[in-house]
Amino acid sequence: MPVACPELPDLVPVPGVKLASAAAGIRYKGRDDLLLVELAEGSQCAAVFTRNAFCAAPVIVAKQHLAISRPRYLLINSGNANAGTGDPGVAAARHSCGELAQKAGCATEQVLPFSTGVIGEPLPVERIEAVLEKAINGLSEDGWATAARTIMTTDTVPKGVSRVIDLAGQQVVITGIAKGSGMIRPDMATMLAYIATDANVDPESLQVCLDEAVEQSFNRITVDGDTSTNDACVLMASGAAQMPMLSLDQPAFKLFSAAVNEVCRELAQLIVRDAEGATKFVTIRIEDGVDSEECLRVGYTIAHSPLIKTALFASDPNWGRILAAIGRAGIKDLDTHCVDIALDDVWIVRGGGRDPDYREEAGQRVMSQEEILIRVRLGRGSACETVWTCDLSHEYVKINAEYRS
């Protein structure tokens, strides 16, 4: 069960962006598994992708198309990753784009393909082709909630966020959906996320906005330390709002960028809350580091430790495991006498050793909570970074052991 994960809110339609879902039977029976997104003519689109060397065929094709054309459609399937499929997989992704382009009346390069699911299996292109006409005819600005469910794989809940902000007297909508539950250790972003706005944003500024938002959200979460082959995050701006074009040097852009950051951060945290088998939502805050890099190194060393993650699952305040993880994080010249560690408001280590006032029952109280803060002060500088993660449960092992069953 997800950890304190709210129900899907009412997602606000984005003028200039339409969606449709269809059941293609790619892997799942009796549910939608194909999502089509249509962008109004003139829309801008920014994207970031996985850095996994074995990036999936749709990632290869989407990057190529985005570099030479302004997208009109996103074609997304769940249940099959079309990764590890070599040249035939790339051909299949391109063929799907071509089929949609022919039916929708646009250039093949104006279609961006995305896939998520099992790696190493051929994409059943014919099943996608069979429902494209239905999807095109079903396009609607009200399709966000269904879309959030369509892209799910091992997710247990759909994930979506909306914000309506005021920019110089003009209301602007930002709505996003995401999927992800396992194989989560972003090196861009280990999931799929699609965020749309009706704001008018110049393309360079839109990409900067997305890069910054991803770095502070999807690139700050981890479930199991594994980076997927198919990661992608797309920010679409339809320009349907009646407003001047936003660019980096405008005060209104800062407000817009802050709202996009908020949407991405909330989506990222929803992924961790719905992590495979998770029973704890854990915030790891590393303070007083020399720079961001070393704070993140310590944060991820703690977040990826199986010993710490299993202790979290057991609600066991075995703080020695946290201490050991900090020590092996590879921080040069770390003065352990300057390190402090707390669980929420309970200080367990001060000056590199057990706090004289620490009591096991206080640590137990915190570890028994669904939401836990692990706070580390390195005593080396002023840098601070936050990472969000979860525990490691029996259910995580079961889900991934049976994933292809």
pLDDT tens for 334-351 read 999 999 999 999 999 999
CA dihedral 74, 80, 86, 88 (to 10 degrees): -70
In angstroms, rounded to a whole number, what is the distance separating the alpha carbons of residues 389 and 386?
Answer: 10
pTM, two decimals, is 0.95
**Residue 1: per-residue pLDDT:** 64
Low-confidence ranges of the chain (pLDDT < 50): none
**Residue 187: per-residue pLDDT:** 66
Cβ burial, residue 404 (10 Å; 0-12/13-18/19+): exposed
Domains of the chain: 17-273 (3.60.70.12), 281-401 (3.10.20.340)
What beta strand segments (E) does 180-280 contain? 192-197, 232-237
Strand order in the sheet with 340-343: 353-354, 346-350, 340-343, 371-377, 281-289, 383-390
Which of 50, 116, 150, 190 is labelled catalytic? 190
Residue 85 among the catalytic residues: no
pLDDT tens for 85-141 read 999 999 999 999 999 999 999 999 999 999 999 999 999 999 999 999 999 999 999
